[in-house]
A and B are shown apart, each in its own frame.
Chain A
Amino acid sequence: MRHSDFKTALTDHAAKLFLGVLFGAVIIVALLNLLVPADSALHVSSYTVTLLGKYLCYALLALALDLVWGYCGILSLGHGAFFALGGYAMGMYLMRQIGDRGVYGNPELPDFMVFLNWDQLPWYWHGFDHFGFALLMVGLVPGVLAFVFGWLAFRSRVTGVYLSIITQALTYALMLAFFRNELGFGGNNGLTDFKDILGFSLQADGTRVALLLASALALGGAFVLCRWITGTRLGRTVMAVRDAESRARFLGYRTEHYKLWVFTLSAVLAGIAGALYVPQVGIINPGEFSPLNSIELVVWVAVGGRATLYGAVIGAILVNYGKTVFTGVMPEAWLFALGGLFVAVTVFLPQGLVGLAKNLARKKKTEKDEEAHHEPA
């Protein structure tokens, strides 16, 4: 029986292991990048640092999805939308930081607005000059969207497949909208050509390592937060909703409130992941809203194993590492591999890699037990 206090979530065995591995790896990479000279065999390139940072953002996104899918049974096919919205909020801040260093050298307007012959900044761009405001929006925009969407959907008891399909429609509609130049987010090209964040150049090694550390901190923090939540009374209720929603409702729980709560929190986490992702990859465009991205995200969680949190993180990192390797070596095979992964995981590994490991461990244990039982008999 897990206890519900925050301290346990931080100090129990699995959490210690997870946080230890995460920060251990990140700190080693950071040191090897900054302190080891570039010609040494031990040097880690800035490219690898950024790649790792990207994986950690994906892992945070997968963690957010695992919270709603694994623990609450809501299969969102639109989580990429929250990720992208967080990314756009950060992208807008980074765009404002460019100032007059753009191609057109306009101190007031980003390049794409000059290109579109706009003469003033749209109202919703105001405030993004301030980092604090941008950070607020990173959480607020996805959170509010998820809250409104979830409030409508859960109140009318849209569940299961229907919910999955309308979340997909949500991200699809947003993608179409962001592709429009008129919306004022750079249309097709999105936001790019960033220069610096908080005054530090995005190209500098130090900034990259700092962003990696920030990603690791966010992931670690979110992990502890999610573990804590799933251990609380609220988390227990959420799982009851997942397993038997009608029964939970008949027992007097307002199931839609619990779902809404978890859904909104998850969207905020996804937004944070997007915000950390954008300065590291240097671009955000409407392609991030594509329904394909959101479904791919589901497979990361499925590969790792649902409802374990660390499974989602492992899945995200493994699949993306595979993607990096595959697309480098034989790009045309990647979709075959990804497609095969979808099929194999759902048919053969419904509990993901973590489930497989647990099963193997259990088997070994029962075998041992049986041997132990057999001998006296």
Chain B
Amino acid sequence: MQRVLLIVLLWLGATGVAGAQAPTDDPAAADPPSVSDALADLKSRDFDIKGAAIETIARSGHERAEALLQALLDRGLVHDRAHDRIALGEQADGGWALTDPLTGDSLGQVDARAARPVIINNRLREQIRNLQAVAALSNPDSGRRRQAVQRLIGSADPTVIQALRERQAKEDNTAVADAIDTALSIAVLRDPDSDLHARLAAIDAVAGSLEPAVKNVLRDRATQTDAAAERNAAEKALKAIDARTARYETADTIFFGLSLGSVLLLAAIGLAITFGVMGVINMAHGELIMLGAYTTYVVQQIFPQGHEWSLLIAIPAAFLVSALVGIVIERCVIRFLYGRPLETLLATFGVSLILQQAVRLIFSPLNRSVVTPDWMSGALQINPVFSLTYNRLYIIFFALAVFLTLLTVLKKTRLGLQVRAVSQNRITARAMGIRSERVNALTFGLGSGIAGIAGVALAQLTNVGPNLGQAYIIDSFMVVVFGGVGNLWGTLTAAFGLGIANKFIEPLAGAVLAKIMVLVFIILFIQRKPRGLFPQRGRAAEDS
């Protein structure tokens, strides 16, 4: 009901106001008999009669006209058979609560079978929506106006064209004005009676537009026209549109690549610390990501009403859960295995099996889904062929924020200094008074905690299940190895590089083949540069 717009006002040429205020000052509007006649027509079974009635109601300028049309769309306009009249009906207590369509007075309650909603078909629905869009052309909100124009593009209805022309004259928002121009140009091109010059001008006007309707009409003109000038113009315009579309499609692919890259970055960056800085191959890393995802799920279960903000609790909670589990793993298993990287691989793989099975027992093997908050759904529509979905956009920023935070921790804090010292030369670091045992535990905790945060982000993109971690572990290792062990910037470059490469190959070869090609590429790349893109230099690199 809130979406009802002032049809009335448009047809009077008045400027839009909020729905409750009715135009009582114009004598032409006050024509209730025609509305009641039209309402009576809605009882007919003939859709043409109903269509005419809808038109009449829309043009009546009656203060309740738009409410009636919306009610018609929502199946809220009913035929009260006992009194043979049309009324607004609301389902209540197994029956209908009726109100008078014109005055809004209550007409009492009738049995469910005593009244039936007025049936409309798709054509009428389309007609009502168009009428509503026409009304919305004078909405004070320019975004709504633009939406309305977008809806009307391609319509050949003379009244619609007339309404667009009227709006064009006084539109001051350029985006809306451009959209109206496009709509009118298409109308000219669709009009069989328009003359060649008008059509050439119209083709010229729509040449830059990415609307699908523009492409369709130009394609039609290019094949149907007899005039060579028009055919050439249309073909040229089509070519320009194709080129522009291709550019935006490339941008779209890059965006998807960046978003995949940021997921890889989040998954791999914790590994870059445990593997790169500590030399520990943590095969349980994927399961720490999974724990983060499950933490998100649990936090949402605890605050069932808090979908909008529970993520903000989930991020630190996931960090803590995964970090604690990580520290336990380090204290109980890994500390016995320093300097034997292949054995940390086996032991942590065992840990990963245990964690997976534990989660399967606690949360069942079925996937759980996490509710995405409203501010993360939807998309930023840049133009008809290019939009950025908010969840991916946020994850890109989130990944970069995590990366920069981690970089700061490692470069600027005391812990970071100690971590780097221990990773470069454990014995000297100990001699300088650094408690390497504590540093190891904290570093491993930090890497694991970041895996947990990655889990929060992944929970927004995929289902949360016991196998979540496994799906990412090999990719994460590839990213770290490709980027160069011990180099966070290398990890960043590798993650985004592989993400974008993957998305560019995908349309050519399919998702699975793209993945295989990337894997084979990395295998071959490692042959050429066994230490990755950015190898670690100095004494530490020679040890292994």
A332-B360, A338-B350, A338-B353 given as contacts; is B345 within 8 A of A173 (CB)? Answer: no
Binds A, one of B44-52, B310-318, B473-481: B473-481
Residues on A with beta carbons closer than 8 Å to the beta carbon of B356: 335
Instruction: Please give the number of chain B residues whose Cβ is less than 8 angstroms from any Cβ of chain A in the complex.
Output: 42
Residues from chain B with Cβ under 8 Å of A340 in the complex: 350, 354
B residues 318-375 near A (Cβ < 8 Å) are 333, 336-337, 341-347, 349-354, 356-358, 360-361
Highest count of chain A CB atoms <10 Å: which of B349, B358, B519:
B349
Interface string of A319-362 (1 = CB under 8 A from B): 00000000000001001101111110111001000000000000
Contact, CB under 8 Å: A168 / B474: yes
A162 touches B526 (CB 8 A): yes
A343-B354 Cα distance, complex, nearest whole Å: 10
From residue B467, how far is it (CB to closest CB) to chain A in Å? 11
> Are B352 and A346 in contact, CB atoms less than 8 angstroms apart?
no
Which of A152, A161, A336 contacts B342, CB < 8 Å?
A161
Q: Is A291 at the interface (CB under 8 A from chain B)?
A: yes
Say whether B174 faces chain A, with CB atoms less than 8 Å apart.
no
Best-buried of B343, B360, B523, B544 by chain A (most CB within 10 Å): B523
- Asked whether A169 lies within 8 Å of B523 as measured between CB atoms, the reply is yes
Cα A75 to Cα B281 in complex, Å, equals: 13
Within the complex, which residue of B343, B361, B526, B527 is in contact with A332, where a contact is CB–CB below 8 Å? B361
CB < 8 Å neighbour of B353 from A160, A164, A173, A335:
A335
**B515 near A341 (CB under 8 angstroms)?**
no
A153 at the interface (CB under 8 A from B): yes
What separation, in Å, do the CA atoms of A75 and B343 have in the docked complex? 10
Q: Is there contact, CB below 8 Å, between A350 and B481?
A: no
A157 to B347, CA, bound (A): 26
How far, in Å, is B532 (CB) from chain A's closest CB? 9
B524 CB within 8 Å of chain A: yes
Q: Which of A149, A166, A343 makes the CB contact (< 8 A) with B350? A: A343
User: Chain A contact residues (Cβ within 8 angstroms of B): what range?
Assistant: 35 or more
The answer on a CB contact under 8 Å between B481 and A162 is yes
Q: Once bound together, how far apart are the Cα atoms of A87 and B520, in whole Å?
A: 22
| Cα A164 to Cα B344 with chains together (Å) | 12
Say if the beta carbon of B530 comes within 8 Å of chain A. yes
Docked complex: A50-92 residues within 8 A CB-CB of B: 75
Question: Which B residue sits closest to A177, measured CB to CB?
Answer: B516
Which residues does chain A contribute within 8 Å of B337, judged by CB atoms?
Answer: 346-347
Q: Does B512 belong to the interface (CB within 8 Å)?
A: yes
A100-130 residues with Cβ-Cβ distance < 8 A to B are none
Which chain B residues (494-537) contact chain A, with CB distance < 8 Å?
A: 512-513, 515-516, 519-520, 522-524, 526-528, 530
Are A153 and B281 within 8 A (Cβ)? no
Q: Tell me whether B347 and A158 are in contact (CB under 8 A).
A: no
Q: Given A156-B527, A339-B352, A176 and B357 touching (CB < 8 A)?
A: no
A164 to B478, CA, bound (A): 12
User: Is the pair A158, B527 in contact by a Cβ cutoff of 8 Å?
Assistant: yes
Closest A residue to B334 by beta carbon equals A347
Are A335 and B357 interface neighbours, CB within 8 A? yes
Among A289-341, those with CB < 8 Å from B are 291-292, 295, 298-299, 302, 332, 335-336, 338-341
Q: Could you tell me if A158 and B530 are in contact, using CB atoms closer than 8 angstroms?
A: yes
Interface status of A170 (Cβ within 8 A of chain B): yes
Report the separation of the CA atoms of residues A339 and B519 in the bound assembly, to the nearest whole angstrom.
27
In the assembly, what is the distance between CA of A64 and CA of B297, in Å?
44
When C-beta atoms are compared, the residue in chain B nearest to A165 turns out to be: B477
Q: Decide if B528 touches A156 in the complex (CB within 8 Å).
A: yes
With a cutoff of 8 Å between Cβ atoms, the chain B residues found around residue A345 in the complex are 346
A194 within 8 A of B: no
Please determine whether B350 and A169 come into contact, CB atoms closer than 8 angstroms.
no
Contacts of B360 in A (CB 8 A): 332
Q: Is there an interface contact between A164 and B345, defined as CB atoms closer than 8 Å?
A: yes
Q: Are A173 and B519 in contact (CB under 8 A)?
A: yes
Chain A residue at minimal CB-CB distance from B522: A169
CB of A351 to closest CB in B, whole Å: 12
**Given the contacts A172-B519, A332-B360, A158 and B526 also touching, CB distance less than 8 Å:** yes
Distance in angstroms from B172 CB to nearest chain A CB is 56
Please give, as numbers and ranges, the residues of chain B lying within 8 Å of A176 by CB-CB distance. 512, 515-516, 519
> Contacts A166-B526, A169-B523; is A299 near B346 (CB within 8 Å)?
yes
Q: Taking the complex as formed, is A180 at the interface, i.e. its CB lies under 8 A from any CB of chain B? A: yes
- From B347, B349, B470, give the contact of A347 (CB < 8 A): B347
Binding site for A on B (CB under 8 A): 281, 283, 333, 336-337, 341-347, 349-354, 356-358, 360-361, 470, 474, 477-478, 481, 512-513, 515-516, 519-520, 522-524, 526-528, 530, 544
Interfacial residues, chain A to chain B (CB-CB below 8 A):
75, 149, 152-153, 155-162, 164-166, 168-170, 172-173, 176-177, 179-180, 291-292, 295, 298-299, 302, 332, 335-336, 338-343, 345-347, 350
Closest 8 CB pairs of A and B: A342-B350, A339-B353, A339-B354, A335-B357, A173-B519, A339-B350, A346-B347, A343-B350
